[in-house]
Amino acid sequence: MEDCVGFKVLPVKVNENSKVIRHFFLKMHLTRDKCAQKPEYQTLFVVGVPEFCNQKIMKHAFRRCGKVKSVFFHNEPTPIEPEVLPSKYFIPKSIKGFKVAYVVFAHTSGLENALSLKCTESEPFILSTQCAPITNIVNRWCENYNDNIVDVRELQSEIDTYMSEYDKTSAARIQIEKETVDNEDEDGWKTVSKKGRNPGFARKEAIKNNIMKNEAKKKIKKTLKNFYRFQIKETKINQLMELRNKFDNDKSKIELLKQSRKFRPF
């Protein structure tokens, strides 16, 4: 395989009959942030994977290098651990378009084999075989459609367990809040929350802005506007300014219209 800026270039064919060579770019997965599901020295990082490659196809294709434990897809390279899906139904949206794949082998040998594959342009790596065929868009749509039709009872029970869990945790949180409220700590500070005898306001940006606005208003009320002579003079000047400004604004608008040759009636 050819080298390319730290990547190996793997020539790939979609299936036996295909005549078109594509390139996958392979590399050992190495990051500073360690990740349990993508262990070092076992994980192959693949870039440029087309949309139709699903888990099954990738697993089957890389089987020849060694046993594949799992395959993860992402939109772009990411150190983030793949989410453990908590639910069968509430799943994030599937990845669209080209993606990157993390192929986790069961043994380090799998990775080594993969990186030293002896594929050439004339004898490329074959992605899809009989047992893992590539499906076209209509099939994929149909499968997806059928999967979306849920089993109502199962879904309901899943929701129920989630909600009872949620209720429990939120109840616990409220309990803690309640306990901490109005208790002085060692240095004499009190935690203020929305609850309790003397509740504070929520710490939101909008509320803060409102308070600042009110303050500014108060300030304006206090100042005298036409007390000194210069102030009266100034208001007159300002009026004139406003007129001039308006005039100039209009002029700039006209200028704009002129640019688009708007004034030629014919």
Partner 1 sequence: MTLDIIPTMELTTGDKCGTKRKKKQNPDGGKKIKPPTAEELNKLRETENLFLSNMFRLQIDEMLKEVKPKQSTLDKIQEWFDKFSIAVLQDIDTTDYKKELLSNINLSEINTPFHLNPQNNTDGTFRFTKPCSVKIVGSHSLGTSILPLIKVDISIVMGKNFFHKKDYADEKYLRKKAFYLQCLAKELMKIPFMIDNDDVQFSFGSQSYYLPSLIVKPIGTLGKKCCFCLRVVPEKDIYNLHKFSPNINNINGQWYFNSSVENYDSKNYSTPYYNSLILQDLVMDESEMLLKEIIEINQNVQDALILLKIWIAQKNLGGIGNITNYILSMYVVYLFKKHKINKFMSSYQIIRNVWLNFGQSNWHNDGITLVDYESKKDNNLKLPLMSDFHSSFPVVFVDSSGYLNLCANVFKSNYIHIKNESNFAVEMLDNSNMNSFPCLFLTKASFLQQFDHLINFNDIKIIKDIVSQHSDKKSKLDLREDLALQFQQIIEPLLLSSLGDRITEMCFNVYQDSVVMGKTQEPFSNFLIGLKLNTQKANSVVERGPIANLPEVAKEFRSFWGEKSQLRRFKDGDVCEAVVWADSKAAISKKRCIIRDIVNYVFLHKLSISSEKFIYIADQAESVLENPFILPVGFDYGTGEAASLCCIDNFNEVGKLIRQLEGLPLTVSSVQGVSSVLRYADVIPPLSRTHVDNKKQRKTKGNCILAPTDEEIKIAPGFVKPIEGVLQFASSGKWPNELNAVKRMITAFYINLAARLQKDCNLTCQPFVNHIDIMKNGFVFRFRIYYPGEVSLLKKELMPDGMIRYRDTEESQYLERSMVQLPTLTSSLHGLSVQYPSYGPTCCLAKRWLRSQLIDNFHFPEMCIELLVASYFLQPEPFKVTCQPTIGFLHFLRKLATTDWFREFIVINFNNDIPKDHISSLECSIASQPKNSSRPAMLLVTPYDLDGSSWTKEGPSFTILARLMHLSRKALDIAEESLLKNGTVENLKQIFRPSLDKYDILIRLRNIMNPLRHMAVDAKMAKIYSLEPPEDKEKIPIVGLNPVQELLNVLRDSYSEHALFFHDTYGGNVIGVVFKPNVFNKVDFKVTNVNGQKLHKSSSNIKQVEFNLDAFIEDIDVHGGFIVKEVEKCNKSLFCNN
Interaction residues for partner 1, span 63-122 (CB under 8 A): 76-77, 89-90, 96-98, 100
If binding is defined by CB under 8 A, does position 17 make contact with partner 1? no
Instruction: HSE, CB side, 13 Å, CA atoms: give it for residue 190.
Output: 12
Least Cβ distance, residue 182 to partner 1 (angstroms): 19
Verify binding: residue 219, partner 1, rule CB under 8 A. Answer: no
- What distance in Å separates the CA atoms of residue 45 and residue 115, rounded to the nearest whole number? 10
Which C-beta is closer to partner 1: that of 156 or that of 214? 156
Q: What is the DSSP letter of 220?
A: H
- The residues with which 71 forms a beta bridge, in sequence order, are 103
Query: How far apart, in whole angstroms, are the C-alpha atoms of residue 21 and residue 19?
Result: 7
CB nearer partner 1, residue 187 or residue 205:
205
**Does the footprint of partner 1 cover residue 154 (CB under 8 A)?**
no
Size of the site for partner 1 (CB under 8 A): 84
C-beta closer to partner 1: residue 37 or 238: 238
Torsion angle of C-alpha atoms 89, 91, 97, 101, degrees rounded to 10? -110
Please state whether beta strands 43-49 and 2-4 pair in parallel, antiparallel, or not at all (unpaired).
Answer: unpaired
Question: Which of 106/161 has CB closer to partner 1?
Answer: 161
- Backbone Cα Rg of the chain: 33
Asked if 196 and 182 count as a contact pair (C-beta separation under 8 A), the reply is: yes
User: How far, in Å, CA of 39 to CA of 28, rounded?
Assistant: 10
Q: Is 265 in the site for partner 1 (CB under 8 A)?
A: yes
Paired sense of beta strands 43-49 and 99-105, if any:
antiparallel
Rounded to the nearest whole angstrom, what is the least distance from the CB of residue 67 to partner 1 in the complex? 27
33 touches partner 1 by CB under 8 A = no
* Binding of partner 1 by 47 (CB under 8 A): yes
Identified binder of partner 1 from the candidate list 30, 150, 172, 212, rule CB under 8 A: 150
Nearer to partner 1, 40 or 151 (CB): 151
Does 172 help bind partner 1 (rule: CB under 8 A)? no
Nearest approach, Cβ of residue 55 and partner 1 (Å): 17
